Chain A
Amino acid sequence: AQTVTQSQPEMSVQEAETVTLSCTYDTSESDYYLFWYKQPPSRQMILVIRQEAYKQQNATENRFSVNFQKAAKSFSLKISDSQLGDAAMYFCAYRSGWANFGNEKLTFGTGTRLTIIP
């Protein structure tokens, strides 16, 4: 079974600075997807960024980028120019690349609570 580990329960960063959230995972599969989801207080969880394991290039979405190290099974999220609206719980998640019945569920880490200091 796949597991996802987020070793930082809480992180804080000064507004406008850069912060990196860590995520490691364990799998025997070669084809899979990795995600970072953001869950603001009392609001919907939304997708921040997605990485396909067969792609070498790290995904980037505006101020959000990942450092995907497949051999090390590491998938960190970098947030540049942090803004107050970035304050949230961030969850790393894994999904198998095999689109068989039952494989499309997400396996989540325990989350990292990010605080932005004005």
Chain B
Amino acid sequence: EADIYQTPRYLVIGTGKKITLECSQTMGHDKMYWYQQDPGMELHLIHYSYGVNSTEKGDLSSESTVSRIRTEHFPLTLESARPSHTSQYLCASSEGQGGNIQYFGAGTRLSVL
């Protein structure tokens, strides 16, 4: 398995709480991604980063924000969680130079009550 880690694996919280989903990789990859995956559905890109201090929004609009202060760390934050944010969030990374294989973490399954 790839060296990319997500915590927590499962999270149940109440509406209005601020949460941060953690993603770290030890492969030295420049590029990192966040996908949202609803049950039985395809993955949609919500954020990506090409390196430190570089972040962009993906195809699917999301109220979450991300930061990339260190190469290995790409956390995702929801300032005020709502039931509509209930989903699975997958983090991925890939090499910076010509690499095109994305390596995925195990995901965080978020439930907002």
Residues of A in contact with B (beta carbons under 8 Å apart): 4, 9, 33, 35, 37, 42-47, 50, 91, 95, 99, 101-102, 104-106, 108-111, 113
What residue in chain B is nearest A95 (Cβ atoms)?
B100
Bound CA span A95–B43, Å: 14
Partner of B104, one of A9, A45, A95, A113: A45
The 3 closest A-B pairs by CB, nearest first: A45-B104, A108-B42, A108-B43
In Å, the complex CA distance between A4 and B40 comes to 15
Q: List 27 A-B contacts (CB under 8 A).
A: A4-B42, A9-B40, A37-B104, A42-B106, A43-B106, A44-B1, A44-B4, A44-B106, A44-B107, A46-B1, A46-B2, A46-B104, A47-B103, A50-B100, A50-B101, A91-B43, A95-B100, A101-B50, A105-B48, A105-B58, A108-B42, A108-B43, A110-B40, A110-B42, A111-B40, A111-B41, A111-B42
Q: Is the Cβ of B102 less than 8 Å from the Cβ of A106?
A: yes
Complex: chain A residue closest to B44, CB-CB: A108
List the A side residues contacting B105 at CB < 8 Å. 44
Q: Identify the closest chain B residue to A42 (Cβ).
A: B106
CA distance A9 to B40 in the complex (A): 9
Select from chain A the residue with minimum beta-carbon distance to B99.
A104
> What is the CA–CA distance of A110 and B104 in the complex, to the nearest angstrom?
17
In the complex, the chain B residue whose C-beta lies closest to that of A45 is B104
How many residues of chain B are within 8 Å of chain A by beta carbon?
27
- Nearest-neighbour CB distance to chain B for A22, whole angstroms, equals 15
**How far does the Cβ of B107 sit from chain A's closest Cβ, in whole Å?**
8
Closest CB of chain B to A78's CB: distance in Å?
21
Docked pose: A94 CA to B33 CA in angstroms: 15
Tell me which residues across on chain B come within 8 A of A44, comparing CB atoms. 1-2, 4, 104-107
Known: A101-B50, A110-B41. 6 other contacts (CB 8 A): A35-B101, A44-B2, A45-B90, A104-B31, A111-B41, A113-B40
> Does B110 make an interface contact (CB < 8 A)?
no
Q: Are A33 and B100 in contact (CB under 8 A)?
A: yes
Q: Are B94 and A47 in contact (CB under 8 A)?
A: no
A45–B33 Cα distance when bound, in Å, is: 14
